Structure 1
Amino acid sequence: MIACSAELYCAADLLTRASLGELDVDIVAIVSDKPAAGELAAQHGVPFRLVDGGLAGDSRAEQEAAFAAVLDELEPDLVVLARYMRILPEAITVRWNGRMINIHHSFLPAFAGAKPYHRAHQRGVKLIGATAHYVTAELDAGPIIAQGITPVSHRDEVEDLVRKGRDVERTTLANAVRLHLEHRVLVWDNRTCVFA
């Protein structure tokens, strides 16, 4: 199962890789808090579930309950948060421990949370990255599965960092999903050992 919000590029990349046989996976649904993701799901022949959480006046608790209900119904082997921009409650993160992967658009632990490309630009970093990790109750702090980086220049604007970062996010998330599916990730404490 793939969950996404307004930014669909990571979800689209996973769907494309699955259709090309690059990922040995059966995507049971696309779940989103944004109706636009339904079109992406339809293009790939994948069922779509909307958990809008606010678009129709739903509270955060109602959205979380709707997301949990979809998980209960579908019982996916793996949940991939492909730019799903919601903080999940601890009950969900505990239940899906080791079976839920998130992509964060920074080289964690640097720039956790919102707007990492903006903060990286302000700081004048020379590399930006993406981190795919298992989801835990602590935001952007789960065991790291894969990371990727790309160089940036003082000439780059925030928009350039975002564009470059999206490419890194796509490949890093796909790599992490592949490693998980191939049972090449061992988790202990809050760390991983990834077997090449």
Structure 2
Amino acid sequence: MKTRRYVFLVSGGGGNLRVLAQLLALGLLEGELVGVLADRACPALSWAQQKGIFAQQISYRQSQAEDLRWHLAQLQADLIITNIHKIIDAQTLAQFAQAHWVNLHYSLLPAFAGLIGLAPLKAAKKQNLPFFGASAHLVEAQVDAGPILAQGIFATDWEKKSEKAHIEQTFRAGALALWAALAQLEGQNLMEAAEDVYWENGQSIRLHPAPKIPEQLRQEAFWQSI
């Protein structure tokens, strides 16, 4: 099987970028992280540079996508993760249609489609929703409308749990959903039933579909190292 060449598009802290690097290092995904492209100076870019991963700040707007396209072609990307705070233009998606484009969205899509970052979590709190989570989906020209590959879900508790706890749980739901989506695209066997993941701090995520979850991801130390 061809080694998958991952390119990560990013705008912020790079938590999911570091999770991907760990999953590859643990052998939970096959492939190589060949490039990190950021549309601004950010901690994710600095982290990649420190790790010796090709990392480049690019200029990107939908009307000026040449820089992004050039780098994707040079990196020979065949799986592109779009954790960038920009909507990718239809022409770029079409030009690299041979690649899988995967986006991680912090909501249980189709709820709160189009909102960026943690804005869906704030909207869910405003509506007092009993459940929240994250969705990993294929990217299409219509924003947040591509086929959903995996979702992580958890019960909210707006009165008893802090905002920080909800953000942390959202991050873990997203990281697990992204892993499940990438494993699915890789052709790994997935379990038929949803899988519950529990941690020592009382947090839990229900993931579907789910690969076989190793002990490392059930340990608090893994997440504290990210």
Which residue, 58, 61, 64 being the options, matches 2:63?
61
- Residue of structure 1 equivalent to 2:86: 86
Give yes or no for the alignment of 1:128 onto 2:132.
Answer: yes
Distance change (3 Å), C-alpha of 1:77 and 1:3: same
Give yes or no for the alignment of 1:4 onto 2:48.
Answer: no
- After the TM superposition, which residues 83-162 of structure 1 pair with which residues of structure 2 at under 5 Å, given as runs? 83-97=83-97, 99-114=100-115, 115-155=119-159, 156-162=161-167
CA contact 2:129–2:156 (8 Å) conserved in 1: yes
Which residue, 10, 28, 31 being the options, matches 1:25?
31
Instruction: For residue 171 of structure 1, report the CA deviation from its aligned partner.
Output: 0.8
How far does the alpha carbon of each residue in 1:70-104 deviate from its partner, in whole angstroms, 9 at most, with x for none? Answer: 112222111112x2111011112233346101000
Paired letter, 1:45: G
How far does the alpha carbon of each residue in 1:9-29 deviate from its partner, in whole angstroms, 9 at most, with x for none? Answer: 111100111122221111110
**SS state at 1:92 partner:** helix
Distance 1:145 1:19 in 2: 23
Q: Any stretches of 5+ residues in structure 1 without a counterpart?
A: 54-58, 186-193
Instruction: For residue 163 of structure 1, report the CA deviation from its aligned partner.
Output: 2.0
CA contact 1:102–1:134 (8 Å) conserved in 2: yes
Paired letter, 2:8: I
CA contact 1:35–1:52 (8 Å) conserved in 2: no
**SS state at 1:27 partner:** strand
Distance change (3 Å), C-alpha of 1:195 and 1:117: closer
Paired letter, 2:63: A
Which residue, 184, 187, 190 being the options, matches 1:182?
187
Distance 1:52 1:21 in 2: 33
Paired letter, 1:86: K
**SS state at 1:61 partner:** coil
Q: Any stretches of 5+ residues in structure 2 without a counterpart?
A: 1-6, 191-208, 212-226
Distance change (3 Å), C-alpha of 1:24 and 1:76: same
**SS state at 1:171 partner:** helix
Distance 2:123 2:95 in 1: 32
How far does the alpha carbon of each residue in 1:103-152 deviate from its partner, in whole angstroms, 9 at most, with x for none? Answer: 00100001112210111110111111111111000000001111110111
**SS state at 2:91 partner:** helix
CA contact 2:38–2:56 (8 Å) conserved in 1: yes
- Residue of structure 2 equivalent to 1:190: none
Paired letter, 1:47: F
TM-score by length of 1: 0.83
Aligned-residue sequence identity (percent) comes to 24
Instruction: For residue 35 of structure 1, report the CA deviation from its aligned partner.
Output: 2.4
Paired letter, 1:61: S
The size of the alignment, in residue pairs, is: 181
